[in-house]
């Protein structure tokens, strides 16, 4: 080691970053250059192992990386410059934190001697992103960089996955130091997420499951994050026990929508049968979900008569919103495997015929009913047509946030995990288009559709340019009702129909807009033309903006009104103006 110039591990900080990406198997990153990351971009230019996708706004890089991660199970990587580059990443980082998406963001920083001087494009990136990352680092010494990068990938992808950020000052990118490949000692000794479930708790859980008369399995995004094994085991558990299963928004696809035990999604816009089953059950097995407020409704009336088993890798999810009886901390896949093993060895499939009869009655209420029209396209009908047209195809769906997102969750049947990318926890309008870019980069030959709303899609519409540049044939299926539909729905239901600033005045002509970007624009206004237009959209091998004009004032039902419990859902057939007013006025009258 006398002559360091021949040591292949001697390199600049910028080279270390690219090298670390390669060592972690990263093939695609999403980013936007700027002053404080130019040395890294220079390294990217001189290699071909890592493909860089140039977005049009850093938020797009973050959501694209999320879509990439969610659809592959691998970490997504974003590269941004200091100052505004970093602040533009705050939304995707927070989004990934809420939905437990593994994301590694590398940000440039002003040179170390300028930090704190209010230098050009300086901001306190680690300070700003501290509450919206699982962990973050500012690297002041090039010899710490390899260790930090390896730790960053480890922290992002293990335990409860999440976003991390590594802030690298420009002088550290230029400086030469020693690189080393990933090794165990790179990680804080204090970081050791628990994977294996406690055996006593698992036995308790099995005996509850075996004695259940009215059981339900409530699964979430954690099952998908855990990996394909967890999905397989969840399906096997449903088969072995014969239990009904529902899922959160984030968990769709872990159990197939065509499965006979599937109840549909639960929660605020979940199905009547899913919510009633949750409310009346005697044993609830929650796997990788977190009793979010969109799920529980009124917490003091949430599933009042049940014993609750909660499997979660994050101990802070236990008893956060709902008190549970049997918490099991660890990885879903691991614990489901143990539960299955004990169940098969020691328990029998409980007789729950009566429970299924009850569920059949709830199903018969047909809570997703809507009235089709020959004159105007109902948004539910549009999603159903899209689903039928893509059934059996290799399809990935992303969404924006709002009514269209809930209709997509209700009417698009997901058969496999990793096929559904949506912003659940943070509810980020503008997520779906860049997420579709990321998904398409990961799956170049698959059909990738962003089910969008006319308001959401405009928040990140500039990424159409990215799609065109990289020939990513994403399909943006806009349910255009000329409103921020969910905002309008709430205003109608809760604020005396005073539609304050929820009308999309001066909407662009989406067909012309698509053409301006060099993409394909399609528009459909009549139900009779819908199927043909969808077929055309799928056939086009270029990015498409699909302007689907739908009924403007359609509301998303069924719905748990605010302050109500699962068994107080408002069903579509009851949701005439008078009943709706009554359901919501009840809440108001108590004020």
Partner 1 sequence: MNQPASAYFIEERHDPNETHTLAVLVQNEPGVLARVIGLFSGRGYNIESLTVSETEAQKHLSRITIVTTGTPMVIAQIKHQLDRMVPVYQVVDMTQTRRSIERELAMVKVRGQGEHRVEALRLADAFRARVIDATTESFVFELTGNTDKINQFIDLMRPLGLVEVSRTGVAAIGRGPEGM
Site residues (vs partner 1, CB under 8 A): 126-127, 130-131, 134-135, 138, 155, 159-160, 188-191, 193, 293, 296-300, 314-316, 318-320, 323, 490, 494-495, 562-563, 584, 587-588, 590-591
b vs e for 250-289, b when ≥16 Cβ sit within 10 Å of the residue's Cβ?
A: bbbbbbbbeeebbbbbbbbbbbbbbbbbbbbbbbbbbbbb
Choosing from 486, 537, 559, 569, the catalytic residue is 486
Choosing from 120, 196, 260, 526, the catalytic residue is 120
Q: Which is nearer to partner 1, 244 or 288 (CB)?
A: 288
Is residue 120 flagged as an active site residue? yes
DSSP 197: P
Q: Which is nearer to partner 1, 71 or 317 (CB)?
A: 317
Choosing from 89, 98, 122, 170, the catalytic residue is 170
Is residue 349 flagged as an active site residue? no
Residue 208 contacts residue 215 (beta carbons within 8 Å): no
Q: Which is nearer to partner 1, 46 or 316 (CB)?
A: 316
Report d(CA 139, CA 103) in Å as an integer: 18
Is residue 170 flagged as an active site residue? yes
Is residue 462 flagged as an active site residue? no
Q: Which is nearer to partner 1, 228 or 496 (CB)?
A: 496
Residue 388 contacts residue 379 (beta carbons within 8 Å): no
Q: Which is nearer to partner 1, 72 or 112 (CB)?
A: 112
Which residue in this structure is represented by tokens 């360091």?
4
Q: Which is nearer to partner 1, 184 or 541 (CB)?
A: 184
CB of 455 to partner 1, least distance (A): 17
CB of 320 to partner 1, least distance (A): 6
Q: Name the 3-class secondary structure at 558.
A: coil
Number of C-beta neighbours around residue 518 at 10 A: 13
Residue 352 contacts residue 243 (beta carbons within 8 Å): yes
CB of 249 to partner 1, least distance (A): 16
CB of 328 to partner 1, least distance (A): 15
Is 93 exposed, middle or buried (CB count within 10 Å of its CB: 0-12, 13-18, 19+)? Answer: buried
Chain CA centroid to CA 553, Å: 27
Choosing from 16, 30, 43, 58, the catalytic residue is 58
Q: Which is nearer to partner 1, 185 or 190 (CB)?
A: 190
Report d(CA 522, CA 169) in Å as an integer: 46
List 570's β-bridge partners, or say none. Answer: 559
CB of 403 to partner 1, least distance (A): 14
Strand 176-178 and strand 10-12: the pairing is antiparallel
Residue 69 contacts residue 42 (beta carbons within 8 Å): no
Report d(CA 129, CA 136) in Å as an integer: 7
CB of 141 to partner 1, least distance (A): 12
Report d(CA 392, CA 520) in Å as an integer: 24
Strand 262-265 and strand 245-247: the pairing is parallel
CB of 126 to partner 1, least distance (A): 6
Choosing from 121, 358, 469, 482, the catalytic residue is 121
Q: Which is nearer to partner 1, 56 or 135 (CB)?
A: 135
Residue 68 contacts residue 434 (beta carbons within 8 Å): no
SS (H, E, C) 51-115: EEEECCCHHHHHHHHHHHHHHHCCCEEEEECCCHHHHCCHHHHHHHHHHCCCEEEEEEECCHHHC
DSSP 19: H
List 310's β-bridge partners, or say none. Answer: 286, 327
Q: Which is nearer to partner 1, 74 or 320 (CB)?
A: 320
Residue 98 contacts residue 426 (beta carbons within 8 Å): yes
Report d(CA 126, CA 120) in Å as an integer: 17
Is residue 232 flagged as an active site residue? no
Helices (H) and strands (E) in the chain, counts: 23, 20
CB of 120 to partner 1, least distance (A): 23
What residues act catalytically? Answer: 58, 120-121, 170, 486
């Amino acid at each position: 080691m006398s002559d360091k110039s021949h040591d292949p591990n001697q390199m600049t900080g910028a080279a270390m970053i690219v090298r670390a990406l390669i060592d972690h198997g990263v093939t695609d990153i999403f980013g936007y250059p700027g002053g404080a990351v130019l040395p890294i971009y220079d390294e990217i230019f001189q290699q071909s192992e890592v493909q860089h996708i140039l977005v049009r706004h850093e938020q797009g890089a973050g959501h694209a990386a999320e879509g990439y991660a969610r659809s592959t199970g691998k970490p997504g990587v974003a590269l941004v410059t200091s100052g505004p580059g970093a602040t533009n990443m705050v939304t995707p980082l927070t989004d990934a934190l809420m939905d437990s998406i593994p994301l590694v963001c590398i940000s440039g920083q002003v040179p170390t001697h300028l930090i704190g001087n209010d230098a050009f494009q300086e901001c306190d990136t680690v300070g700003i992103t501290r509450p919206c990352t699982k962990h973050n680092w500012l690297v002041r010494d090039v010899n710490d960089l390899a260790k930090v990068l390896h730790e960053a990938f480890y922290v992002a992808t293990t335990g409860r996955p999440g976003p991390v950020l590594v802030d690298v000052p420009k002088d550290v990118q230029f400086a030469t130091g020693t690189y080393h490949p990933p090794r165990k000692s790179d990680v804080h000794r204090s970081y050791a997420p628990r994977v294996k479930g406690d055996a006593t708790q698992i036995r308790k859980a099995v005996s509850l499951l075996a004695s259940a008369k009215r059981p339900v399995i409530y699964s979430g995004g954690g099952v998908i994050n855990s990996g394909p094994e967890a999905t397989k085991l969840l399906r096997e558990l449903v088969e072995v026990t014969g239990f009904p299963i529902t899922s959160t928004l984030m968990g769709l696809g872990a159990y197939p929508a065509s499965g006979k035990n599937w109840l549909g999604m639960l929660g605020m816009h979940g199905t009547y049968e899913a919510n009633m089953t949750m409310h009346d059950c005697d044993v609830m097995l929650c796997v990788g979900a977190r009793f979010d407020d969109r799920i529980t409704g009124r917490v003091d009336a949430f599933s009042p008569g049940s014993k609750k088993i909660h499997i979660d890798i994050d101990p802070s999810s236990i008893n956060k919103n709902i008190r549970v009886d049997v918490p099991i901390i660890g990885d879903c896949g691991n614990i489901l495997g143990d539960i299955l093993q004990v169940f098969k060895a020691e328990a029998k499939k409980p007789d729950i015929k009566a429970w299924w009869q009850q569920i059949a009655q709830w199903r018969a209420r047909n809570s997703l009913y809507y009235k089709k029209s020959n004159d105007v396209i109902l948004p539910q009908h549009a999603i159903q047509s899209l689903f039928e047209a893509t059934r059996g195809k290799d399809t990935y769906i992303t969404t924006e946030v709002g009514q269209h997102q809930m209709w997509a969750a209700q009417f698009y049947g997901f058969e496999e995990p990793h096929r559904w990318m949506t912003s659940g926890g943070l509810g980020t309008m503008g997520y779906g288009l860049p997420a579709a870019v990321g998904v398409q980069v990961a799956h170049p030959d698959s059909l990738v559709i962003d089910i969008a709303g006319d308001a959401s899609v405009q928040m990140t519409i500039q990424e159409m340019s990215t799609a065109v540049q990289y020939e990513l044939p994403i399909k943006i299926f806009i349910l255009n009702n000329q409103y921020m539909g969910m905002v309008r729905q709430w205003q109608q239901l809760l604020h005396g129909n005073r539609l304050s600033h929820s009308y999309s005045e001066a909407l662009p002509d989406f067909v012309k807009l698509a053409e301006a970007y060099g993409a394909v624009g399609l528009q459909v206004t009549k139900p009779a033309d819908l199927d043909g237009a969808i077929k055309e959209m799928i056939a086009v091998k270029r990015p498409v903006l699909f302007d689907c004009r739908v009924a403007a004032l359609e509301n998303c039902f069924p719905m748990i009104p605010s302050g109500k419990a699962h068994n107080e859902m408002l069903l579509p057939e009851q949701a005439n103006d008078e009943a709706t007013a009554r359901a919501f006025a009840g809440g108001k009258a108590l004020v």
